[in-house]
Chain A
Amino acid sequence: MYNIIKKYTKPEALAKNAVVRVIGDRGSGKTAYMASLARWPNADTTSPVQSVIPIGEAGEDLITKAQNILEQGLQLEQTAMQHDAINVQDYTLKITLKGQFSWKNPQVGISQLVDISISCKDYSGEFFSDLLQQSSSLQLRNYLEDCLQATGIMLLVDGNSNRKDLEYTNSIDKFVTGLDRTDRDLNSRRIALVLTKCEQPELWVNHHNSSFLAHARFPQLCQRLKTWQQMGGGQVDYFTASAFGMLGNRYPEPNVTIISRDRGGISAVIKDPKRWRPFGLVAPIYWLCTGDRHKELDKG
């Protein structure tokens, strides 16, 4: 009896895991996303996220990037393309957060903590923009084999690059067909489409309505993902995020200085590193792990 009471009243942190691959065009902000997540600067006490702890050498490396490059107001270098997917750095992060009850995960109590461990590979943008076009290349096969281990795919897209909708659709089309062909066990997986750089005003006005925003700005890409979902490939959901976030509470404005804008989106650096507070970074990861949208995390 005592054990039963203990089981329900003194919750131990529940563990959830996911293996994730982060893909996306050059400059979509993949490494900035990961570095910002690992650094988790200026944590908000009201946020359900209790802590983010990077594990191992690769994780330390992310923190270094965040501190020495992003916090100095500098731009990250392009992630180099590795010949073999094995050599791509595998970041491990442990995220502790307050769970939320849902019928999908009835064992998660309201105040119970959930530990999410993700192991995450951040592919070079070249994978998405070039390699996927070379359908017979061995290197691509090698990368796709590597992707099979993943239960979740995070597709990062710069929300300002809506003119490249067609190119993205083309790449994701190659990606999901390639994955289907390589996967003999027909595992189902989740794809989170994350619009990054949503601190920009045109995206920020609709950032609470991520599905609408994704469909409005990338109609063809969303259509392709929907088809993939309907064919039984897995689940798709939509998220908005910003690695740099907003400044101020009452009249929030983007905490970035824009360096350039073009067809491929914007490139920017942090304006005020002391008030660096990203948003939306954990929500897609929670969803990839549990299949649930976390309401508190979605609030920003």
Chain B
Amino acid sequence: MGNIRIIGPRNSGKTTYLAALAYQPNKDKRKHKYLQVQALNDDTRLLADKAESIILQGASLEPSITHFRTIYDMPVYSFNIEIKHFLRKENIMLVVRDYPGEIFDDLENGTSNKLSKEFIDECLAQDVSGCLILLSEWKHGTDKSYSRILDQFIQLINRADRGKDLRLAVVMGKCERGELWPGRLDPEIDLFDIHLPETKSILKRGILHTNLHFYASSTFGVLGRNDPRPNRIEEWGTDGRNSVLREPERWRPYGLLSPLYWLSTGKKMGFDI
């Protein structure tokens, strides 16, 4: 158990990811009998309340950076997660902070400003057990830019003496997209090798293989087992187009917990939820 940080470029859906985790269990009692999530502080409950308007009504989440000027204003989300395995129950506590996308993007030019440095120090502190890197794009040029950023990040990890024990879960988000959905079953080969090959090879070279895992996740999910259309439509919200659930009652997010579970415990889950 320990602290987890979520980093990733702007608009990769970091806060929505956490909002879904905080909110989803209340929503979907039937299907997730084996999983129970409990918010453990006010910040998390606030996020769960906001989640409904974000995911169902498409209210846009303001970029995290606009809320605070210093690292101390950042919310800390904390969850208790009860997982029912075959015969036993397991409780884990997750303490997660999501970072503004700017911090990730700034890494490309090397961190010079004070705020970024504070965030990175905090991210690589000894009591952080792992980082979740949430990526979502593979447009022309992004592979190059991600790999430069992660190269920087790996250097910072080594400089902070965390090379041996910091776990990195690299997650491809928004996997309900048609071209990604079939690749979710083996994300390392079918998503990262194909769409972000350079990023993957930089990570493979720089991080011990026991501390690195690739995941696929989808906050919105697809319509059903035999209906792989994304359960998501774009709507015009208060400020531009935003994604909302297409059929709320069929909402089944994919792969939200597995990376966090591994980061926190070091064990892999038998199935992806």
Interface residues of A in 233-267 (CB under 8 A from B): 251-254, 261-263
**Are A201 and B78 interface neighbours, CB within 8 A?**
yes
User: Judging by beta carbons under 8 Å apart, are A202 and B95 in contact?
Assistant: yes
- A263 lies within 8 A of B3 (CB): no
- Size range of the interface on A? 20 to 34
Q: Which residues of A contact B1 (CB under 8 A)?
A: 205-206
Among A155-203, those with CB < 8 Å from B are 162-163, 200-202
| In the complex, B80 has a CB within 8 A of chain A | yes
Query: Contact at A251–B127, with CB atoms within 8 Å?
Result: no
- Find B3's partner among A205, A215, A261 (CB 8 Å cutoff): A205
**Once the chains bind, are A216 and B41 in contact (CB under 8 Å)?**
no
Which of the residues A163, A205, A213, A216 comes within 8 Å of B93, measured between beta carbons? A205
CB distance from B41 to the nearest CB of A (A): 6
CB <8 Å contact, A202 and B3? yes
Q: How far is the CA of A219 from the CA of B126 in the complex (A)?
A: 9
Cβ–Cβ contact B38 & A251, under 8 A: yes
Q: Taking the complex as formed, is B125 at the interface, i.e. its CB lies under 8 A from any CB of chain A?
A: yes
Chain A residues within 8 Å of B72, by CB: 261-263
In angstroms, Cα B93 to Cα A205, docked, is 7
In the bound assembly, the distance between CA atoms of A253 and B93 in angstroms comes to 11
Interface size class of B (residues with CB under 8 A): 10 to 19
Q: Which residues of A have CB within 8 Å of B78?
A: 201, 204, 253
Q: Assess whether B90 is interfacial by the CB under 8 Å rule.
A: no
Closest to B73 in A: A261
Contacts of B38 in A (CB 8 A): 251
Q: A253-B41, A262-B72 given as contacts; is B80 within 8 A of A212 (CB)?
A: no
Give residues of chain A (132-169) contacting chain B, Cβ–Cβ below 8 Å: 162-163
What per-residue 1/0 map shows which CB atoms of B1-24 lie under 8 Å from chain A?
111000000000000000000000
Q: How far is the CA of A262 from the CA of B118 in the complex (A)?
A: 13
Which of B2, B40, B70, B76 is in CB contact (< 8 Å) with A206? B2
Q: Pick the residue among B73, B95, B118, B126 that contacts A201 (CB under 8 A).
A: B95
Give me the 8 closest cross-chain CB pairs, A-B, nearest first.
A216-B126, A201-B78, A216-B127, A261-B72, A201-B95, A253-B40, A251-B38, A251-B80
Could you list 23 examples of A-B contacts with CB < 8 Å? A162-B125, A163-B118, A200-B76, A201-B41, A201-B76, A201-B78, A202-B3, A202-B95, A202-B127, A204-B95, A205-B1, A206-B1, A212-B127, A213-B127, A216-B125, A216-B127, A217-B126, A217-B127, A251-B40, A251-B80, A253-B78, A261-B73, A262-B72
Interfacial residues, chain A to chain B (CB-CB below 8 A): 162-163, 200-202, 204-206, 212-213, 215-217, 219, 251-254, 261-263
